[in-house]
Amino acid sequence: MRFIHALFCTGLLTGPVISQAEQTSIDIGTALAGSAVGFEQALQLRAFEFPSDHGPHPSFRNEWWYLTGQLQDGSGRDYGFQYTLFRIGLTPPQSTDEDLWSRDTIWMAHVALSDVKEKKHWHSQRLSHGGVGSAGVTASPFSAWMDNWRLNATGDSGNFPWELHIADENFNLRLQVDNQKPPVLQGDRGLSQKGGAGNASFYYSYTEMQVAGTLDGKTVNGSAWLDREWSTSVLPPGVTGWDWFSLQLQDGRQLMLYQLRSEKNNAANNKSGSLVQTDGSSITLAADDISLQATRHWRSPISGARYPTAWKLKVKGLVEELTVTASFDEQELIGIVNYWEGVIEVESPNNTIRGRGYLEMTGYDRGSE
């Protein structure tokens, strides 16, 4: 479940692009400010259409394209990568405001690379106003870009294969992204309820994508996970953060879990997820089907936040308890909002279940114990 888009308020944009050095961290309460008036809300079931739904939905205030994955080079060295593009609407599409600058959108992009062997994590953040044309999304042909960071279809439509190209000062990644399984419609047939009237999103995932290409000129291949969500009002009052897991198991199944925390470092009853079978079918998981327990923590020397980087998971449909551990602790992204997102390892006590994935954690601060 990808909510991080809701953490960025429109008042932070002071020009076409904001450099990371000019940004300051904000809290969730500040970031959630904004009116839903004039925007469409996720209130009832809809029919999804592919590939057109890969494109933008400007009648909703917030939207994101979120790609994470694991790579391995020819020597067996492991990496994790992230590319995220967020769209935040400033005013409703039907606004009569003649100032095109204020009527447009803010685009935010994050890229990150984790080197598991060296325990190094590089990340970058960019912001742009939609009016300047340096960022955007098109449906046909599909393309989601921020300057020279780009995820796009290789053909004339939104169908796979896609290509990811990240030309960053820290690394150069070029991957072909393909897919075999159907999209997973999260929640109730794609309507993901977060609590309270209107606090919902339309949400689908591709949970077992295949990737191959080059990282700084070295041949790499691996797997990836794509999350797509759009909404206007998502989080109910009192939510201070969340924990989100995307797990790819070696037996061909995938698992998505999230929990919202209503008090700092305190899990709320709002939990959900899905267990995707080898044939692509999925089982929706309710709060009672999920148990999440943090077992180890890491304190960031930069932000001071204390993140749980090891967990025990119990999930209905899996016979054994899972242990989820960060491949290394130092995978925090520092920017407008500081949050942890990185590669994780998955195993069961008897090693009958193994896998890898990504974990996202938000809302932890210096006071979190």
Give the number of other Cβ atoms within 10 Å of residue 238's Cβ: 12
Type of residue at 171: F
User: Is the predicted pLDDT of residue 99 greater than 90, yes or no?
Assistant: no
pLDDT of residue 5: 38
The mean pLDDT value of the chain amounts to 87
Percent of the chain with pLDDT over 70: 85
pLDDT bracket for residue 267 (50, 70, 90): low
pLDDT of residue 233: 81
Are the CB atoms for 93 and 111 separated by under 8 Å?
A: no
Of 122, 118, 139, which is closest to residue 83 (Cα–Cα)?
Answer: 122
Query: Which tens digits make up the pLDDT trace of 311-328?
Result: 999 999 998 999 999 999
Residue type at position 310 = A
The count of other CB atoms within 10 Å of the CB of residue 254 is 25
Q: Does pLDDT of 290 surpass 90?
A: yes
pLDDT mean over 334-354: 94
Instruction: Render pLDDT for 29-81 as a digit per residue (tens, 0 to 9).
Output: 334 345 678 899 999 999 999 999 999 999 999 999 999 999 999 999 999 99
Could you give the count of Cα atoms lying within 13 Å of 156 in the half-sphere of its Cβ? 0
Max Cα-Cα span within the chain? 64
Choose between 234 and 265: higher pLDDT: 234
Q: What pLDDT score was predicted for residue 2?
A: 46
* 62 and 231 Cβ atoms separated by less than 8 Å: yes
The token pair that represents 177 in the structure block: 């992204």
Average pLDDT score over residue span 7-11: 36
3-state secondary structure the chain: CCCHHHHCCHHHCCCCEECHHHCCCCCHHHHCCCCCCCCCCCCCCCCCCCCHHHCCCCCCCEEEEEEEEEEEECCCCEEEEEEEEEEEECCCCCCCCCCHHHHCEEEEEEEEEEECCCCEEEEEEEEEEHHHCCEEEEECCEEEEECCEEEEECCCCCCCCEEEEEECCCCEEEEEEEECCCCEECCECCEEECCCCCCEEEEEEEEEEEEEEEECCEEEEEEEEEEEEEECCCCCCCCCEEEEEEEEECCCCEEEEEEEEEECCEEEEEEEEEEECCCCCEEEECHHHEEEEEEEEEECCCCCCEEEEEEEEEECCCCCCEEEEECCCCCEECCCCCEEEEEEEEECCCCCCEEEEEEEEECCCCCCC
From CA 346, how far away is CA 79, in angstroms rounded?
Answer: 15
Spell out the residues 6+ positions from residue 196 whose beta carbon is closer than 8 angstroms to its own: 236, 237
Domains of the chain: 4-8+50-362 (2.40.370.10)
The C-alpha atoms of residue 157 and residue 175 are separated, in whole angstroms, by 18
pLDDT confidence band for 266 (50 / 70 / 90): low
Question: 0.85 cut: is pTM over it?
Answer: yes
When pLDDT is cut at 50, 70 and 90, the band that residue 116 belongs to is very high
